């Protein structure tokens, strides 16, 4: 009996040691894989959980973090494909992100005019129709550390081999250098919720400042009672359970109300503020008023205010908007199912 107990103890110790060796081996392999990727793609620096990666161009001190489990890919030359320094594909959303550093090929009187003309030249042969250029605000330029920046969103004249047929090109100018950041995706494959999460986190992290280098990817996602971290637009489990309980507050929902509410929700989701930005009570009230006006239901407004008190950050606000969208769809389906045939 004693020998059995001794043998069992030895066996348990051996099992624990074997488990520890396996865990160490997995950690070493993960570390080796990380180091190999960073050696092959020097601009790529992933977080410990791989959810976020820092893109770095140390030639000019440009830094931008990408969420959604990005992975670097080798650049493959293809007919009609513009030059790029780096390509990263995101796993949580079907988006390819490209970076390219260049110099202006046009001369103009102001940084804004240089960016507008240079970006116009870039998209001229790529867009199916002339795009509108959006100039960014002074506050945004100051936060990025650039002299001028503009964005164009357009349908590609020819889809790429992966099915990408829409591109968002942002061009930034600093000290005579131009950085081009493009997001490319299939327009049917990226909904406004996930697009809003991606843009706000990625461009919220953008810094062009050679005097203040960034060495590690920052934490992009604050704690939230509404949304899980990341760009996948996943509500917390108990928020999913709330949908059916909140739906009666909508009352009977017609197609017009649903469309108006969808537009109001999209306005909340596509705001440019980063996920970690705090939201004031005044901003929350403005969002509640916008949603209430669209829904045209006093019961809905009461429900909105009772749930909105938990909103603290922009990540919360987007989760709140997603919760309302899911609830509206649930209520609309119930309304549609209860209508008599031919109604």
Distance of CA 140 to the CA centre of its chain: 17
What pLDDT is stored for residue 291 in this prediction?
Answer: 87
Identify the CA nearest to 64 among candidates 202, 211, 215.
202
In the numeric block, the tokens 């003309």 are attached to 117
Helix or strand (DSSP H, E) at 55: strand 53-57
In whole angstroms, give the CA distance from residue 168 to residue 149: 13
Q: Where are the domains of the chain?
A: 42-208, 237-338
Q: What is the pTM of this model?
A: 0.84
219-267 pLDDT, tens digit per residue, is: 999 999 999 999 999 999 999 988 888 888 776 666 777 788 889 889 9
3-class secondary structure, 329: helix
Confidence of residue 69 (pLDDT cuts 50, 70, 90): very high
Identify the CA nearest to 122 among candidates 146, 94, 150, 95.
150
Q: What is the mean pLDDT of the chain?
A: 85
What pLDDT is stored for residue 335 in this prediction?
Answer: 62
User: What percent of the chain shows pLDDT beyond 90?
Assistant: 54
In whole angstroms, give the CA distance from residue 149 to residue 166: 20
pLDDT > 60? residue 341: no
What ranges in the chain are assigned the alpha helix state H?
2-40, 111-124, 138-144, 192-204, 237-246, 255-269, 281-295, 298-308, 314-338
DSSP 182-242: EEEE-TTS--HHHHHHHHHHHHHS-EE-TTS---S--------SSB-SSSS--B-HHHHHH
Identify the CA nearest to 153 among candidates 139, 178, 171.
171
Structure tokens, 91: 């796993």
The number of beta carbons lying within 10 Å of the beta carbon of residue 288 is 19
Q: Which fold has domain 42-208?
A: Protein Transport Mog1p; Chain A (3.40.1000)
For range 300-322, the mean pLDDT: 91
What pLDDT is stored for residue 17 in this prediction?
Answer: 46
Confidence of residue 343 (pLDDT cuts 50, 70, 90): very low
């Amino acid at each position: 009996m004693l020998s059995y107990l001794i043998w069992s103890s030895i066996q348990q110790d051996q099992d624990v040691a074997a488990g520890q060796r396996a865990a160490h081996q997995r950690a070493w392999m993960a570390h080796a894989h990380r180091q190999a990727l960073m050696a092959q793609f020097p601009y790529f620096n992933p977080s410990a959980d791989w959810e976020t990666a820092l893109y770095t161009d140390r030639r000019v001190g440009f830094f931008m973090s990408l969420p959604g489990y990005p992975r670097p890919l080798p650049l493959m030359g293809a007919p009609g494909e513009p030059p790029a320094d780096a390509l990263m594909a995101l796993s949580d959303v079907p988006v390819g992100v490209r970076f390219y550093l260049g110099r202006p090929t046009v001369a103009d009187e102001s940084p804004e005019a240089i960016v507008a003309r240079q970006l116009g030249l870039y998209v001229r042969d790529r867009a199916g129709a002339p795009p509108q250029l959006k100039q960014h605000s002074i506050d945004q330029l100051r936060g990025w550390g650039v002299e001028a920046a503009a964005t164009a969103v357009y349908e590609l004249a020819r889809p790429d081999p992966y099915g990408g047929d829409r591109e968002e090109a942002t061009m930034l100018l600093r000290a005579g250098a131009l950085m081009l950041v493009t997001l490319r995706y299939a327009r049917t494959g990226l909904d406004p919720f996930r697009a809003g999460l991606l843009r706000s986190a990625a461009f919220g992290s953008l810094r062009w400042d050679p005097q203040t280098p960034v060495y590690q990817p920052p934490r992009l996602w604050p704690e939230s009672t509404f949304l899980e971290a990341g760009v996948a637009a996943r509500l917390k489990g108990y928020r999913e359970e709330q949908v059916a309980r909140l739906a009666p507050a909508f009352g009977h929902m017609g197609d017009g109300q649903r469309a108006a509410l969808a537009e109001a929700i999209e306005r909340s989701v596509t705001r440019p503020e980063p996920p970690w930005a705090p939201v004031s009570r005044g901003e929350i009230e403005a969002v509640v008023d916008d949603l209430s006006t669209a829904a045209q239901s006093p019961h809905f407004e009461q429900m909105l205010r009772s749930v909105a008190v938990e909103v603290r950050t922009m990540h919360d606000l987007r989760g709140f908007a997603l919760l309302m969208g899911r609830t509206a769809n649930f209520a609309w389906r119930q309304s549609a199912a209860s209508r008599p045939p031919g109604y």
